[in-house]
Chains A and B, each alone.
Chain A
């Protein structure tokens, strides 16, 4: 059947007895209301009733690391003062108890003044107006102090890791405090800014460079956190200096600029300042004359096994392979630069490194030669040996630009002059190219600074003072670089004539390899279709091109100041 047409009036007729329907609850409306009320009371009840049914693990955002596993079920160990129970957090339970017991808040202003001497009158009046008891006011003050630096959770870290509350000064700054008038002082700020917890059961991950960059890439943040304290060093260097700070190591030191502002560093390859020895005013202050260029010339005779003189003939790794040993005359120089004062007697040499011994040596030359000859041939007749001594000394007298004229005091002085200043042949003669195979000895002045001596010794040799350490803020070691050639980093050696040249690699050259992997330059294979093998020159080239070798800040620097820094600061503040 077709639908019957209805007019609106006909339809409305049906409603006429039920016009107040909206006042009566319809099932759907009642259900809506019931569910809404259930949600309201259910959710609020769940929140406030959490204390009865809840487990704090409900708020656990992730597994605790192995480092803090023993606190896994003790949230309050780290989240100091945190309260998951809203009833207690809002102090509703205390309010109910107070109301039941009639403990309404009241304040006696005089009592307040007596109890809190640290507060000003205005503060006390304000507190009284707000009905704050002295205890409460004090607690509030503490809370403000607490909030001013580290948050509660970070303070909890310091319960166990107390010595880590400082970022600066680092160990090297502490070592250099005797020569630097200022020392940076930076608090660690919030631990959890870098150390992420609740992210897995394993060991906590070491923070990456991005954590450092959050401050070091932001000049304003650096300025905000940086603080400098005066340490009052007695003799800060005013020019580049090599100095032993008491630990037996000679360090290259540059004068410290007062209140120097830190550089903005985004990564080692982006913004890291050059090493201090790269500064234009930096010169090697070692008192020794050495010409690298001369030792690379073709006329330098072959050394052991017929090889040409190489870097490793003089520069040799020390124990552990971290640092190179200092170059020693006896081991590295004597082969070519002999101190053979008597050409007829190979092995009969002037003592090195002690001017007083040289004086004794010259004054007792005859007996020394005789003793040497007896040592060489104990069975020889004494008369023959004495004759040989006379012949040898006679040859010495006749050689040289100034005769020794006998065996008196003048002759001894002249011999000393030859040893310290002219050599044999003379310094000028050697430089003019008299040939390396001629018998000779090298004068001290050829390598050392010779000055007039005092009454005991006529000449003095200035201490060479060659630096053992050039960089102080990173634990550089040669160990991982043994696959490289010296000139891969120390390419300045080629062409250096002066000792004052600092022949260490620039920061930029280090950053070639020590930078994030340059993906656009990655080549899986080199020419010939073969991937470079580890620790080969090809690998070095690959690393220079692609980077990707340890570039994190933490590879060279530590974030936390050593415990000594805390002690030092405490003692400084006690003073």
Chain B
């Protein structure tokens, strides 16, 4: 999701909420650093605090519970995306809330923990939380510049999941062309041997067919049928060398083949663009492979943490 003007109210809300949360935290734990006195509601500043830690104080528990509620809401985004017809706000609104409310969990978590890592369990939680947040920020950053980059660099974008299919179609077309060319240089039937020999002599004089066939066999078809990783290492995988290769091919072939060569170059270009699109798509969406599973693990471990601290205290 692109961060635009629609996010300004959210940014103001989160900044304001962070200031208020911070002021409450200082009022409860470090009142000497506040230039003014803040009287917290009784349920947030119960005296004496039942446990002498930040997280177990009423305010700390409130922050922790709020953070957990936001985690739950954030995880509900996946459900919202699946149930698009539910009348519970559009997905864009949900996504904005997902982004900004989870940003709000940063002060909540820090104030809940009192800026301490604690023991192994809470450290594990913090590590998971850090992974989730960093991957989330990474995703936001990618979503802000990758679409523009894709628009500039991908002249013909296709549906990502159709790419293997289209790649197969291109390879098939190239193979069909090869078969057609091979047919043109095949010896004629014995009953018309004289006519066939004349054609063969004429074809042999024009080497264009063999040049194109050779190009198809040695460069084009291997490239079109190669895996994405192998294709990027080939000559046709590079835009500049590909243009040079096709320029040479046109020089070596007669003008009759210009249309065929243009078609071949179009397939190679399509293949290269699809490879680039695949790579960009993986960058654009790959962070979710970390973000989503680790978020779920974080949720489970957070519930565990809440349960254990509840029964231990």
Contacts and interface: CB of A to CB of B under 8 A. Distances in A.
Nearest to A32: B289
Interface in B167-213: 169
A11 B169 CA distance: 12
A58 interface: yes
Contacts of A14: 158, 162, 165-166, 169
B51 A193 contact: yes
A327 interface: no
B120 interface: yes
**Interface size of B as a range:** 35 or more
Contacts of A297: none
Nearest to B295: A39
Contacts, number: 131
Count class of interface residues, chain A: 35 or more
Given A47-B300, A61-B118, A193-B51, A89 B159 contact: no
Contacts of A227: none
Contacts of B293: 35-36, 38-40
Nearest to B301: A43
Given A153-B313, A196-B52, A31 B121 contact: no
A211 interface: yes
Interface in B78-133: 118-122
Contacts of A21: 159, 161-162, 165
B312 A11 contact: no
A281 interface: no
Q: Is the interface of B mostly helix, strand, loop or mixed?
A: helix
B246 to A, nearest CB: 6
Interface stretch (B11-19, B42-50, B215-223): B42-50
Given A36-B296, A40-B296, A47-B301, A221 B47 contact: yes
B231 interface: no
B269 interface: yes
B234 interface: no
B265 A1 contact: yes
B255 interface: no
A15 B162 contact: yes
B301 A193 contact: no
A84 interface: yes
Contact of B165 (A15, A86, A221): A15
Given A3-B155, A17-B165, 18 more contacts: A1-B262, A1-B265, A11-B156, A21-B165, A26-B160, A28-B285, A32-B292, A39-B293, A39-B296, A40-B300, A43-B300, A81-B311, A89-B311, A151-B50, A192-B52, A193-B49, A215-B48, A221-B47
10 contacts: A1-B265, A4-B262, A22-B161, A32-B289, A32-B292, A39-B294, A39-B296, A47-B300, A58-B121, A192-B51
Interface of A: 1, 3-4, 6, 11, 14-15, 17-18, 21-22, 26, 28-29, 31-32, 35-36, 38-40, 42-44, 46-47, 57-62, 79, 81-84, 86, 89, 151, 153, 189-190, 192-196, 198, 211, 214-215, 217-218, 220-221
Interface of B: 42, 47-53, 118-122, 155-156, 158-162, 165-166, 169, 243, 246, 262, 265-266, 269, 281-282, 285, 288-289, 292-294, 296-297, 300-301, 304, 307-308, 311-313
